[in-house]
Amino acid sequence: MLKASAAAGVVTMLTSRKTLAQSLPPIPTQPPDCAAPAPTNSPATTPFVQALPIPPVAIPTILNPFPTLAADTANGEAARANHQDWFQFFPLLQYNVSVQPTMHQFHPQIPPTYCWGYNGIYPGPTFLNIYGVPVVVRFHNNLPVDNIGFGDNNHTTHLHNGHTASESDGFAGDYWSPGLFKDHHYPNVYAGFNEFPPLGDQLEAQHTYWYHDHRHSFTATNNYRGINGMYLIYDDIDTGFEFPGQGPQALRLPGPYGIYDIPLNFTDKLFCANGEMFATAPDAVPGGTDKFCVNGAIQPYFNVQTRKYRFRFLNSGPARIWTFNLSDNNGNPVPMTVVTTDGNLLPSPVEVISTSSVPTLTGLTVYVSQRYDVIIDFTNATPGTSWYLTNVAAQFVGNAPEPEPAPGVNIGNVVMAFNITGPPPSPDQSQVPEVLTTLPNISKPMANLFGTRVWNFNDDVVGAEGDPANPTGKVFNVNGLTFDPNRADATVQQGSSETWLIRNRFPGTGWTHPVHIHLEEGRVLDRRNITVNPTTGVITINSQGVPPLEQGRRDVYPILPNDEVLIFLQFRDWFGKYMIHCHNLGHEDGLMLVRWDVTTGPSSTVTSPVYSDGTPNTGNGQVNSGAQPNITPALTALAPTFNLNPPGTSKLNRPGLKGSKKGVKA
Amino acid sequence: MNRRDFFTCHVADKSRPAASLGPGYYSNGVFRTHENKPVRFYDDLIKGKISIINFMYASCDKYCPRSIACLTKLQDLLGDHLGRDMFMYSFTLKPDEDTPAKLAAYAKGNGARPGWLFLTGSEYDLTSIRFKLFRLDDPLLDFSVDIHASMLRIINDNNSRWTSWVLPDPPRLIREAVSWVEPTKPFAVRVRENAELQAAIDKESVISAPKRAEFKRAHGWPEITAKYENPDGMKKLQTLFHAGA
Ligand SMILES: [Cu+2]
């Protein structure tokens, strides 16, 4: 029996449309993995022979048994704590998702590949949601009980980076086994709902999410198998529609989904001749791959009209860092206009082009798990020609067309082509406003900071034994710690705020760590590079300020070798366990992953877990003193550089951002 | 037997488990145990077993002792699996120093039971399997001797499932990791374990839930128990679905 009558209306209407009917593909038996010999190249593939696949929209249903506040273990639900604020955000929609094996063809010249995916498709269905419409998603683990080779049949899903209660956050240790299901409660609320009831602070809106397997130690292999998809949340500002008359607050970015609002899920793979994905070892994905896939297709084309499009770039890993450039049919660089970073609207659009004079804007660099919503304007493109999205690293093509597709554009670098078809059937009504949002005013929480918590991301044995930065000698670690699902390495009090200093190992070993923090998005306050004078040995910390693409809110903070980044974070609304971890999935599986908890308090200062052999760990998340204090300047010295309230935004206050669009770029 | 013989017997081997990657993948070099017995890597150590593998050297006094201490305790948790279907292998990083006799003393000193072997061999064979099992594609790490004291590889040859863990860590975590390469337990067993886990969560909630409720009350954030209706949002959602699908 469905209690929410409004939900019943939507469900009936949706399921009555035949085109939306979702039936699960049959579950294939697992073909043998190709483990040896290692292929040096995937089979040759011809570029641009297949259209870009657009993941279908996830369709709500009515769950049976009906979802409950407490875990329905009697009916096969995996153990969990009661949903927090379940009645406050009682789900108006319900989704049923099967995590299961499937066969997916990445290219017509490569035989179908054994994959795992949400609802048996790769990428998984796209969730289209609205702030203020809470939903519940039931994830059934239908993975095989007898799988061989890479991937683990225990599963958990993280909605990256939903403002989600802990028991629905897909905590890496809360995985469930085949035959069980788990209900994840996604309230689709803005952060800060205790302070700004009922739905939170609209300035905390985030629009582009992805959901993916987060089972620890196997996140790389399970995502390589295909367990990920996208999840978009709209509201009355980012409405998903471009037509006028939606009210002055509506941004009217290109839309709707699937037509002018297009997800681009980038990953890279290495295939054997039989079509099977190659894994370097039964628990490791290859570092060197040669096939770039967009939404599960190798080098696809996408037909575009002469107008604006919104593309949602996602680097779904496992490890590659992409740097994208766009060229027209003459090989000339074309700008891409970034409107969101990790799904959060930027204060103003930022233009990226390969010839930019600003180093961080020469091409769009996307670290694992980062998202960028990018507007590409094809208005002046010539019908019948193609534009090319390229990555700086080359892939193996095989039978590439001669000559190169555009002057100076190497076919091996082309990730996808945009074929310009002609004018749109109706005029382009979309806009890219000069002011997209204002950032939440954080001066009050900044004045009440608990302190600065230091997280050292180390990837080597550092120094001598007992080095406080890495007392245990573990390869990938955070403050010397690796993941223990049952141990919280820091606790923060509900409603408090802190600055976190996320620091790469110094001196650097060459690894970049894209660090992700669950629960809330952060604000980058400062980026610094650490250098050492080779003759005097004097260590200098060079503040680099905040790069343009980090002026908004983010949830992934890449730290390059010798880099550190200072961010501001709040911990609001939900209690329970969350994580900070490297989102290079290989490093994450190497347990570069730490649990921290939101509690009733007080916040931890220095926690000292004791190892099984009785050794206390001295290098753990310390407050107001770094594990390497000699290279940490006093926080107060940097305070004036904090970007508390960017110029021109202070007068734009809640609610609604009405009248915020000044110059509108048509 | 020389190396060539081992290569030919890979091909002839038909007795390995169907899902195994086989000796061609693992290699089959000869090592010598701390009991001074020659063993082939795949045929004698890996085939049909769950193997827990690390690298060490007897004179290592930096990170090794703590790592080895964890493995000593792990033996208890493996129970009678150890030496039956599960084996622990500690390979030396310094074959020049670590003779079988020296490894035997080290084994005894660390309380090794039957089923935990300390092994030495040729530099070539040791490096080959180290790169096969522990390679990180990072020269700084791959050629570092110290780094290996923290790495543990867990392999089940029967289903070609691997995992890893890091040392030192509580032995319960290592035992848990070993269970991930074991065959998936029968559904009834997993359902029972799920119920036990739920009971543990509920026990913890009895303590934490009132604290959280009190914290919210103290901050003036009352818990809302009424259902939230949002017909406006639902209407918007309908339009979205229709436009996009
Ligand atoms: Cu990393």
The pLDDT assigned to A35 comes to 61
Q: What residues have CB less than 8 Å from A176, skipping those under 6 apart? A: A78, A141, A154, A155, A156, A182, B194
- Interval between CA A562 and ligand 1 midpoint (Å): 13
State the average pLDDT for chain B. Answer: 88
Phi-psi region of B25 (alpha: psi -120 to 50; beta: other; left: phi over 0): alpha
Confidence of residue A320 (pLDDT cuts 50, 70, 90): very high
Cβ contact A475–B141 (<8 Å): yes
Q: Examine the pLDDT at A429 and tell me if it is beyond 80.
A: yes
Which pLDDT score is estimated for A22?
55
Tell me whether residue B242 is in a domain.
no
- Residues B9, B41, single domain; the answer is yes
Cα(A509) to centroid(ligand 1), Å: 11
Separation of alpha carbons A166 and A575, rounded Å? 7
Q: How far is the CA of A288 from the centre of ligand 1 (A)?
A: 16
In this structure, what are the phi and psi dihedrals at residue A6, rounded to the nearest 5 degrees? -60, -40
> Which residues of chain B does A509 touch, with a Cβ-Cβ cutoff of 8 Å?
138, 140-141
Domain assignment of residue B147, yes or no: yes
Same domain? For B123 and B46 the reply is yes
Q: Given a cut of 80, is residue B11 above it in pLDDT?
A: no
Kindly tell me if the per-residue pLDDT of A467 is higher than 70.
Answer: no
**A window 334-393, beta carbon within 8 A of B:** none
Distance A556 CA to ligand 1 centre (A): 12
A476 Cα to the center of ligand 1, angstroms: 8
Minimal Cα distance from A586: which residue of B? B136
Confidence of residue A455 (pLDDT cuts 50, 70, 90): confident
Read off φ and ψ for residue A495, nearest 5 degrees: 85, -5
Domains: count for chain B: 2
Residue B228's pLDDT band, with cuts at 50, 70 and 90, is low
Q: What is the nearest CA distance from B179 to chain A, expressed in angstroms?
A: 12
Both B145 and B90 in one domain: the answer is: yes
Binning pLDDT at 50, 70 and 90, where does residue B179 land? very high
C-alpha A591 to ligand 1 mean position (Å): 10
On whether residue B131 sits in a domain, the answer given is yes
pLDDT tens column, B41-56: 999 999 999 999 999 9
Q: Do B245 and A590 touch (CB under 8 A)?
A: no
What digits encode the pLDDT tens for the residues A142-153? 999 998 889 999
- Beta-carbon contacts of residue A222 (< 8 Å; ≥ 6 apart): A116, A151, A152, A155, A213, A215
SS3 assignment, position A224: helix
B37 with B106, same domain: the answer is yes
The whole-angstrom distance between A19's CA and the closest CA on chain B is 8
Nearest CA to CA, how far is A579 from chain B (Å)?
18
Does B189 fall in a domain?
Answer: yes
Q: What is the mean pLDDT of residues A517-531?
A: 93
Q: In the prediction, which pLDDT does B239 show?
A: 80
pLDDT at residue A641, as a whole number: 31
Selected residue with higher pLDDT from B139 and B135:
B135
Indicate whether B115 and B53 sit together in one domain: yes
Query: Which CA distances in Å does B107 have to A267, A619, B49, B57, B150?
Result: 46, 31, 21, 11, 18
Domain identity same for B164 and B110: yes
B244 falls in which pLDDT band (50, 70, 90)? low
Look up residue B146 and give its amino acid.
D
For residues B82 and B179, membership in a common domain is answered with yes
3-state SS assignment for residue A581? strand
Fold classification of A2-36+49-251 (topology level): Immunoglobulin-like (2.60.40)
Find, in chain B, the residue whose alpha carbon is nearest to that of A69.
B225
What ipTM describes this predicted complex?
A: 0.90
The reply to whether B37 falls in a domain is: yes
Question: pLDDT tens digits, residue range A625-654?
Answer: 333 322 233 222 332 233 222 222 222 222
Find chain B residues with C-beta within 8 A of A190's C-beta: none
Decide if A636 touches B, using CB distance below 8 A.
Answer: no
pLDDT at A182 over 80: yes
B interface test, pick of A61, A92, A484 with most B CB neighbours within 10 Å: A92
In the reported structure, the alpha carbon of residue B38 is separated from the centroid of ligand 1 by a whole-number distance in angstroms of 40
Query: Measured in angstroms, how far is the CA atom of residue A319 from the centroid of ligand 1?
Result: 9
Range among A335-339, A398-402, A538-542 rated most confident: A335-339
Q: Which of A140, A448, A461, A573 to mutate to test the interface with B (most CBs of B within 10 A)?
A: A461
Are A176 and A141 in contact, with CB atoms under 8 Å apart? Answer: yes
Q: What residues make up the domain containing B22? A: 3-183
The CATH number of whichever domain residue B160 belongs to comes to 3.40.30.10
**Got the DSSP string for A458-501?**
E-S--SSTT-TT-TT--SSEETTB---TT--S-EEETT-EEEEE
Q: Are residues B130 and B26 in the same domain?
A: yes
Q: Which residue of A has its CA nearest to B18?
A: A32
Is the CB of residue A239 less than 8 Å away from at least one CB of chain B? yes
If asked whether residues B206 and B145 sit together in one domain, one would say: no
pLDDT at A666 over 60: no
Are residues B163 and B190 located together in one domain of the fold? Answer: no
Q: Do domains A2-36+49-251 and A443-641 have the same CATH topology?
A: yes
One domain for residues B173 and B190: no
Give domain limits for chain A.
Answer: 2-36+49-251, 443-641
Quick one: tokens of A559? 């730290």
Pick the residue of A15, A131, A470, A613 with the most B CBs within 10 A to test the interface with B by mutation.
A613
Q: Which helix (H) or strand (E) holds B92?
A: strand B86-92
Chain A: residue nearest B170 by CA? Answer: A612
B240 occurs within a structural domain? no
Residue-wise pLDDT for A340-366, tens only, equals 999 999 999 999 999 999 999 999 999
Q: How far apart are CA B118 and CA A456, in angstroms?
A: 35
Which CATH fold topology does A443-641 show? Immunoglobulin-like (2.60.40)
Residue A498 has pLDDT above 80, yes or no: yes
Instruction: Name every chain B residue with its beta carbon within 8 A of the beta carbon of A87.
Output: 224-228
Question: What's the CA gap between A637 and A645, in Å, rounded?
Answer: 19
Q: What is the mean pLDDT of residues B218-223?
A: 84
Q: Is the pLDDT of residue B116 over 50?
A: yes
C-alpha distances in angstroms, A395 versus A109, A301, A305, A322, B2? 16, 16, 28, 12, 41
B150 and B198 part of one domain: no
What is chain A's mean pLDDT, rounded?
Answer: 85
Res A462 pLDDT > 60: no
Q: Is the per-residue pLDDT at A67 higher than 70? A: yes
Query: What percentage of chain A reaches a pLDDT higher than 90?
Result: 67
Helix (H) or strand (E) holding A154: none
Q: What's the CA gap between A185 and A69, in Å, rounded?
A: 10
Rounded to a whole number of angstroms, the distance from the CA of B41 to the nearest CA of chain A is 17
Residues near A638 by beta carbon (within 8 Å), at least 6 away in sequence: A525, A526, A543, A566
Work out the pLDDT band at A613, boundaries 50, 70, 90.
Answer: very low
